[in-house]
Amino acid sequence: MIPVLTEDPTDFPDPATALKDPNGLLAMGGDLKPERLITAYRQGIFPWYDHKTILWWSPDPRTILKLKDLHVSKSLKKNLRQQAFHLSMDEKFTEVIQQCAALREIDLGTWINAEMQKAYIQVHKLGYAHSIEVLEGNTLVGGIYGVSLGRLFFGESMFSLRPNASKIALVYLVRQLEAWDFEFIDCQVWSEHLASLGATTIARKDFLQLLSENNKFESKIGKWKLDV
């Protein structure tokens, strides 16, 4: 039986009790209010939707991108040199999450439904969720959004309407996080795409230990500004 969350937004099962199949499924139910979401991230737990049910996950192993390990391909380096795009942070959070949802809907069906979008927009307004945007003129063509606590960025999703646009967003995000003494980005689950960018996997227990150490740092709350 999968535990059903209570009304207490801080009441999550121990991530070590998550199922092996499907990998990381920990609990179901509850809501997406900011207090519950922030509590979940602090414990290495994140939500995905399954149709109309909120499911909570903590997979083993966990995929992370150490900032120093970011791989920049030759084609991406060329795009960066061309400087054809303008970048910003926290200027178009709503548009970024909407674009991520729209592209996932076309490709796979989306877990970023209207309720999920509303929840992360609320967390953004509280200063804990952030976006980086890639613009061509005034048109948004790529971006990333996620949650930040302590010195850790929990990447949620990215999108690209031009070749390498989302990767350009990632490069600038990594540069900015390095300038703020962050060490890695949580990428949640492994994919070949993430691996090509330098992501690796670590055991959940090791991730949770890193998370425990990270929780000691003060979070960089509020609107972020790109200055690298």
pLDDT at 104 over 80: no
| Distance between CA atoms of residues 90 and 74, nearest Å | 28
Q: Average pLDDT, stretch 160-167?
A: 94
Where along the chain do the CATH 3.30.70.3550 domains lie? 15-59
| Amino acid letter, 18 | A
Residue 52: which pLDDT band, with cuts at 50, 70 and 90?
A: confident
147: exposed, middle or buried (C-beta count within 10 Å: 0-12, 13-18, 19+)?
Answer: buried
> In the beta sheet, which residues pair with residue 47?
56
pLDDT at 163 over 50: yes
| Distance between CA atoms of residues 186 and 156, nearest Å | 9
Residue 106: which pLDDT band, with cuts at 50, 70 and 90?
A: very low
| Distance between CA atoms of residues 116 and 112, nearest Å | 5
Residue 181: which pLDDT band, with cuts at 50, 70 and 90?
A: very high
The confidence score (pLDDT) of residue 110 equals: 57
The confidence score (pLDDT) of residue 188 equals: 95
How large a percentage of the chain has pLDDT more than 70?
A: 96
CATH class of domain segment(s) 15-59: alpha beta
Using CA atoms of 35, 214, 181, 82 in order, give the dihedral in degrees to the nearest 10: -60
| Contact (CB, 8 A) for 200 and 69 | yes
pLDDT tens-digit series, residues 188-202 = 999 999 999 999 999
Q: Average pLDDT, stretch 153-181?
A: 96
Q: Supply 35's token pair.
A: 């207090």
Where along the chain do the CATH 3.40.630.70 domains lie? 63-214
Pairing of strands 139-149, 152-160: antiparallel
Q: Does domain 63-214 have CATH number 1.20.1260.10?
A: no
pTM summary value: 0.94
Residue 49: which pLDDT band, with cuts at 50, 70 and 90?
A: confident
The confidence score (pLDDT) of residue 83 equals: 82
| Distance between CA atoms of residues 67 and 54, nearest Å | 31
Residue 92: which pLDDT band, with cuts at 50, 70 and 90?
A: very high
